[in-house]
Amino acid sequence: MGFVLKVILCLALHLLTEVKSSMVKLSDNGYDGIVIAINPSVPEDEKLIENIKDMVTEASTYLFHATKRRLYFRNVSILIPVTWKSKSEYLMPKQESYEQADVIVADPYLKYGDDPYTLQYGQCGEKGQYIHFTPNFLLANNLMIYGPRGRVFVHEWAHLRWGIFDEYNVDRPFYISRKNTVEATRCSTHITGMNVVFNQCQGGSCITRSCRRNSQTGLYEAKCTFIPDKSQTAKDSIMFMQSFDSVTEFCTEKTHNTEAPNLQNKMCNHRSTWDVIKDSADFQNVSPMTETKVPPHPMFSLLKSKQRVVCLVLDKSGSMSADARLVRMNQAAELFLVQIIEKESMVGMVTFDSVAKIQNNLIKITDDSAYLKITENLPQNAGGGTSICSGLKAGFQAIIYSNQTTFGCEIILLTDGEDNGISSCFEEIKQSGAIIHTIALGPAAAKELETLSTMTGGHRFYANKDINGLIDAFSRISSRSGSISQQALQLESKVLNITGKKWINGKVSVDSTIGNDTFFVVTWTMQKPEIILQDPKGKQYKTSDFKEDKLNIQSARLRIPGIAETGAWSYSLLNTHAKPQLLTVTVTTRARSLTTLPVVAAAHMRQNTARYPSPVIVYAQVSQGFLPVLGVNVTAIIETEGEHQVALELWDNGAGADTVKDDGIYSRYFTDYHGNGRYSLKVRAQARKTTTRLSLRQQNKSLYIPGYIENGKITLNPPRPEGKGNLAAADLEDFSRLTSGGSFTVSGVPPTINHAHVFPPNKIADLEAVFKGDHIQLSWTAPGNVLDKGKADSYIIRISTHFLDPHKDFDNATLVNTSGLIPKEAGSKEHFEFKPEHFKIENGTKFYIAIQANNEGNLTSQVSNIAQVTKFTESPEPSVPALGTKISAISLAIWGLVVILSTF
């Protein structure tokens, strides 16, 4: 058991690492470096900026009191989009960008609602990705629906910064308490209100009645709604209803509702939000401020984005002659210049060995002739040593010589060589304000490269021998401005080892959200192949249609005229050489139009560094606009320095490493370590139109409040916008996306590993129980032998009539006979039925059930979530309508109309 605890501790430690490089810093109780970015598609509106300032100012005071005088907002940057007019008060951004922003202001896709939410898919205590506010939320009067905007911001900040979760549950709004009463899912239970069903309103009148209980579950009927009292005395909780005047605190250990079936209890093992917050890094070295007055208001900087400025800094040292690295670098760099970089961007190029040379100062990419001025200077010969600092300094000079500041510019640094002197220019790099993306080519590349990326907020990549690793890296370095319609998307990146004189065939899907600026690129290692490409309508393109580069870098490219046809494109390649050779196929495209949001995929590892035996989590997000795309086949390909590849299917099933089912976030534990060093990640997402759908739901959002009870009357808020149900069929053809997730570094891996003796099965988090006659039926998602991989060896199920504390009571509960239960493969749905024979069952008898899994190494998972089931032998009585308030007849006011409301 001690070793299992050690593994769990390792798992907990890895959760502290940030997903992305936010610029937020905490010092002397104040947050600095917060970035709020406005999407380029949002129309210019001065009122929007003023309301953002007002929201953050109000939030700072509220946060200060909510954290018991510990934290406030001190410095905030508002990133103005390049589409807005320039003004004298707008400053130049440094490393602030839309891509790295903490808060995004953008219209919702499909105009579906204005609920503020936080993109959050990590485990308990992990930071989120970003907060999303719509312009309408920031401009309209939402006071009655969400409460003051500053309070909403603190609710979302708690998701983003401290990794806590909501204390309500729209899917399970009620539960049966251990006292056998039906309660609204909330924290704390001191929040009062009543439960009603609204009948259809006609002629300005509405009738309501008390909620009836389902005879099978004992819970209220589906139409039952909890209406809170407008006047409350409860101080908690901000993660339930921050809109109440009285609510100024998070739920503590004393006030936390451990029974509520909400995400906070599920993800954080029934710990209170305040307990999780206190354990965060922000609270480790901060003390309450002793001054009697509140902190000063936040300071705001208005930063206006500029056109994209990129400088390639490319290694041409002697080691680049090995394994055709120079050729492959040039192939990938050309692809970036022709297919990836956005039009109107400024691009320069530097090459370096022992010294550096500026090959091109900045050139604006306006047409095909512009990029040719750069590609013609790609290095043709390798030689000399490696001086990375010389290359970077020359890159800065190329930018400055073109009358541009290095602030906010991007450097793409590619090298394969060792260099012990990188740290000598760290300070100059920090002062430059530039963003440095690093590409390590081969296992000998300088170990400090990743420090450059981390220091400046850039991406980090590792590429091994084949060209596709480089192409995938360059393809990922797209615009950071938020203009998704302008970004290049990768549809295919395939390496084909073809024997002499043989054909090979393949297909690529072009869906209806893309097709503009579509390129097919073929590369080879020895001799140009024969190429046949056919569009969905039968039109063929042949070898002669593919343009071969004049630099003899062994690549040929075809740009499809106009908009590429929707459907499956077929290609055939003939290796014309007598010997086997490697051929690659790469396909890139952009959004079909400026008004069409494409389906996109993004991927990353949960952490940039891992020390064995700590597992890491692979994440991939598939979305259209801000809406999740469900039912996609997502596969991660992870490659080591030793060229060992692992293909890992990612799941969106709410089990194992996956936080929430059907949120468009696909994830999985990665434990297949093979040696130390750099690992690279890429993710392929493929979908069939028969299974893919678009979700109209967002998790981790501020609660929409239907109305309030005030002075014995119900006042309803305006109805929220309704979509076409929670799920809508995605208007998509078959599609495919491929994206790089960057690189991560592993250390401490022993020569031989038996994973089953190191990693236990993952915790079961979706155990459910229902009564069927005298039997209890259980269902859950099967864990693995090693976390979420393979099959567990056996299950331990325990049952009690008393509420189970998973940490204290599980081993004392009654053991259920599971001798006939054989575990299935991880990710499968498990079902098990048993009769609770050792208990006297009466009407209203409640059972609490939990489960653990063992593996072949005799390691045991954490205790699952606690499933609750109640036996009813007769129909329950209708409920008392009030929670903490007894009302038999009340008035209902809808938009100022007073009508009569009665109970049955």
How far does the chain reach from its first CA to its final CA, in angstroms? Answer: 56
DSSP E strands in 326-377: the ranges are 346-352, 356-364
Please tell me the distance from the alpha carbon of residue 821 to that of residue 801, in angstroms, as a whole number: 23
**Block residue for tokens 């098990």:** 832
Q: Considering only CA atoms, which of 579, 587, 663, 583 is closest in space to residue 620? A: 663
**588 within 8 A of 518, measured Cβ to Cβ:** yes
- Residue 71 burial (CB count, 10 A): 24
Q: Report residue 868 as tokens.
A: 């609750």
Please tell me the distance from the alpha carbon of residue 58 to that of residue 148, in angstroms, as a whole number: 9
Q: Judging by DSSP bridges, how do beta strands 713-716 and 889-894 pair with one another?
A: parallel
Residue 861 C-beta-side C-alpha neighbours within 13 Å: 29
Please tell me the distance from the alpha carbon of residue 856 to that of residue 760, in angstroms, as a whole number: 9
- According to DSSP H, which parts of 354-466 are helical? 368-375, 388-401, 426-432, 449-456
Please tell me the distance from the alpha carbon of residue 351 to that of residue 375, in angstroms, as a whole number: 12
**What phi and psi values does residue 712 have, to the nearest 5 degrees?**
75, 10
Please tell me the distance from the alpha carbon of residue 374 to that of residue 130, in angstroms, as a whole number: 36
Please tell me the distance from the alpha carbon of residue 904 to that of residue 894, in angstroms, as a whole number: 21
Following DSSP, what letter does each residue of 557-604 receive, concatenated? EEEPSSBPPSEEEEEEEE--SSS-EEEEEEEEEEESSTTPPPEEEEEE
**What phi and psi values does residue 714 have, to the nearest 5 degrees?**
-100, 125
Q: 259 an active-site residue?
A: no
**What phi and psi values does residue 730 have, to the nearest 5 degrees?**
-70, 130
**What phi and psi values does residue 747 have, to the nearest 5 degrees?**
-140, 165
Residues 464-473: b if buried by 16+ CB within 10 A, e if exposed: bbbbbbbbbb
Please tell me the distance from the alpha carbon of residue 555 to that of residue 550, in angstroms, as a whole number: 10
Torsion of CA 292, 293, 295, 296, to 10 degrees: -150
Among candidate residues 156, 259, 492, 733, the one labeled active-site is 156
Please tell me the distance from the alpha carbon of residue 899 to that of residue 714, in angstroms, as a whole number: 10
Return the active site residues: 156
